Amino acid sequence: MPDFDRLIDKKMAEQIQPKKTTSTNKFSAWYQSSDENHPERYPLDQIIYRCPHSGELLQVTHDMELLRRKTAEQWKEIFTSRFMQATGPNASGVWSKKEWVCPEIDDENIVTIGEGRTPLFEAGRWAKQVNVTKLWIKLCGNSHTGSFKDLGMTVLVSMVKQMIARGQKIKAVVCASTGDTSAALSAYCAAANIPAVVLLPKGKISTAQLIQPIANGALTLALDTDFDGCMRLVQQLTKSKEIYLANSMNSLRIEGQKTVGMELIQQLNWQVPDWIIVPGGNLGNVSAIGKGLLEMKAVGLIDRLPRLVCAQAQKANPLYESFQNNFKKLVAKTAEPTLATAIQIGAPVSMKKAIRALKKFDGIVEQADEDELANACALADRHGLFTCPQTGVALAAFLKLVQKNEIKSTDKVVVVSTAHGLKFTDMKTRYHENRLKGINPRFANQPVELSADVEAVQQAIDERFK
């Protein structure tokens, strides 16, 4: 991959100033290749995304010995007490785990909008209906910009703020997006007064998603291509170090996103569920959740691992196809249009990282077709949720794995909901109006138009609730 073979810029490395000491600097973290053959370390404020030798993505590596200087019980107490705090960095689900996420950031450079600390919805009635012990939905979309992307973006933008404060020259931060990354980048950059550029596939994202970067003042570029095309352009643009890359191939994002798994286990009082199911597109999230849980296990906060499921839309399923051949041959393809637009990705950037994670978690890749995802989404709403189509993919995968008896009646399951349904009202409206091609809307509910007449209203109530 010649694109990625940027050798470390010596001059840039020399410009990096020695760190100011702060109380948390005794914990250290650095970039290191996710390929174990290359142990070289790079500071987190260096502009580098891939191992210069192997071309593999870097990952943030923590000094686990330092983290182990506190016992698991001490860490649990610390995290629990911080969870109660109302202001400051600890009011964030990400920064309340700062030592594990990005210890290098000075508090004054943290750009937070209260991300994380999202509800873990217990779908008790649904669990009973499908005969599993417990079903929880982790509502990551109940967040400032309406998706889990806030979790990674707070880390990345805070680092950029710190780099600029220390004199590094960054003209703008740029991302390719299926909608939610651009919303998160724009909001955090606006909060920090950092220029943001977003590259979007024209006509392939929802109106609610498109208006977010526009409102936040980002340079919003709607391009005549798909997400994979935007991603290729971003990789070319960010060869210039003045333009900083904000996609999840920048592993700072992964550090924020890994708190999803840590936080849901904290909410379960440190009990590990049997399954965690997450929809996958560019595959940063599945890698992130895996990384966080492995670190928790290394320090002793948990003593076993759940099984991980990555759920893909059948129309954009390169990981599913690779799973079918035991990951012997990695498949990249052109993603076809799907209702789950945020995961319409054919060449996932974090494919190898995700596969490494799945292998360690006895993982499964499942897929859902358009009818399955749309109906799972609507069924979830009947249980009190308001679900995005990507979460519909994960929920459909859950239902299929129950049916195949992979998930057993004794199992406890967490499904990660990645975005808020309010960002996808076009799709949901068309579902209920039976205007989605090829989909049989089994849970459609239509408004009844009546004259303002008490008898007519009474009759409508009586008809519905006989």
Ligand X SMILES: *Cc1c(COP(=O)(O)O)cnc(C)c1O
- Contact present, 389 and 377 (Cβ < 8 Å): yes
Task: Identify the helix (H) or strand (E) that includes residue 393.
Answer: helix 389-403
Give me the least distance between CB of 349 and ligand X, in Å please: 8
Tell me the C-alpha distance between 313 and 377, whole Å: 13
Q: 103 or 306, CB closer to ligand X?
A: 306
Which range binds ligand X by CB under 6 A, 22-30, 82-90, 221-229, 273-281? 273-281
Write down the residue that tokens 């979309």 correspond to: 141
Give me the least distance between CB of 343 and ligand X, in Å please: 5
Which range binds ligand X by CB under 6 A, 60-68, 277-285, 313-321, 445-453? 277-285
Give me the least distance between CB of 8 and ligand X, in Å please: 27
Kindly write out the interface string for residues 106-125 of this chain, putting x where it contacts ligand X by CB under 6 A and - elsewhere.
--------------------
Q: 59 or 285, CB closer to ligand X?
A: 285
Beta sheet of 58-62, edge-to-edge order: 41-42, 29-33, 58-62
Among candidates 202, 176, 198, which has minimal Cα distance to 189?
Answer: 198
Which range binds ligand X by CB under 6 A, 211-219, 267-275, 276-284, 454-462? 276-284
- Contact present, 19 and 49 (Cβ < 8 Å): no
- CA 350 vs CA 58, 59, 131, 192, 276: distances in Å: 11, 11, 34, 28, 19
Q: 91 or 373, CB closer to ligand X?
A: 373
Question: Which of 92, 118, 147, 317: binder of ligand X (CB under 6 A)?
Answer: 147
Task: Identify the helix (H) or strand (E) that includes residue 413.
Answer: strand 412-417
Tell me the C-alpha distance between 176 and 186, whole Å: 12
Say if strands 29-33 and 58-62 run parallel, antiparallel, or are unpaired.
antiparallel
Give me the least distance between CB of 335 and ligand X, in Å please: 12
Give me the least distance between CB of 74 and ligand X, in Å please: 31
Q: 118 or 162, CB closer to ligand X?
A: 118
Which residues from 230-259 bind ligand X, rule CB under 6 A?
Answer: 248
What DSSP designation does 244 have? E
Among candidates 390, 395, 368, which has minimal Cα distance to 379?
Answer: 395
Tell me the C-alpha distance between 128 and 381, whole Å: 16
If binding is defined by CB under 6 A, does position 419 make contact with ligand X? yes
Question: Which of 283, 313, 413, 415: binder of ligand X (CB under 6 A)?
Answer: 283
Task: Identify the helix (H) or strand (E) that includes residue 255.
Answer: helix 251-257
Question: Which of 213, 261, 280, 441: binder of ligand X (CB under 6 A)?
Answer: 280
Q: 147 or 251, CB closer to ligand X?
A: 147
Which range binds ligand X by CB under 6 A, 29-37, 156-164, 280-288, 313-321? 280-288
- Contact present, 203 and 161 (Cβ < 8 Å): no
Give me the least distance between CB of 452 and ligand X, in Å please: 40
Say if strands 412-417 and 275-279 run parallel, antiparallel, or are unpaired.
parallel
Tell me the C-alpha distance between 279 and 343, whole Å: 8
Q: 106 or 321, CB closer to ligand X?
A: 321
Spatial CB neighbours of 297, under 8 Å, sequence gap ≥ 6: 303, 304, 305
Q: 284 or 363, CB closer to ligand X?
A: 284
If binding is defined by CB under 6 A, does position 418 make contact with ligand X? yes
Q: 257 or 266, CB closer to ligand X?
A: 257
Give me the least distance between CB of 350 and ligand X, in Å please: 7
Q: 109 or 238, CB closer to ligand X?
A: 238
Which residues from 358-417 bind ligand X, rule CB under 6 A?
Answer: 388, 390
Give me the least distance between CB of 174 and ligand X, in Å please: 16
Angle between helix 370-382 and helix 389-403 axes, rounded to 10 deg: 100
- CA 26 vs CA 29, 62, 298, 429: distances in Å: 10, 11, 19, 52
Q: 147 or 322, CB closer to ligand X?
A: 147
Contacts with ligand X by CB under 6 A: the residue count is: 17
Q: 91 or 278, CB closer to ligand X?
A: 278
Write down the residue that tokens 């109530």 correspond to: 461
Among candidates 284, 348, 288, which has minimal Cα distance to 316?
Answer: 348
If binding is defined by CB under 6 A, does position 182 make contact with ligand X? no
Question: Which of 157, 265, 343, 396: binder of ligand X (CB under 6 A)?
Answer: 343
Give me the least distance between CB of 76 and ligand X, in Å please: 27
Extended beta strands in 330-408, E state: 364-368
Which residues from 294-323 bind ligand X, rule CB under 6 A?
Answer: none
Return residues touching ligand X (CB under 6 A): 147, 149, 180, 248, 279-285, 342-343, 388, 390, 418-419
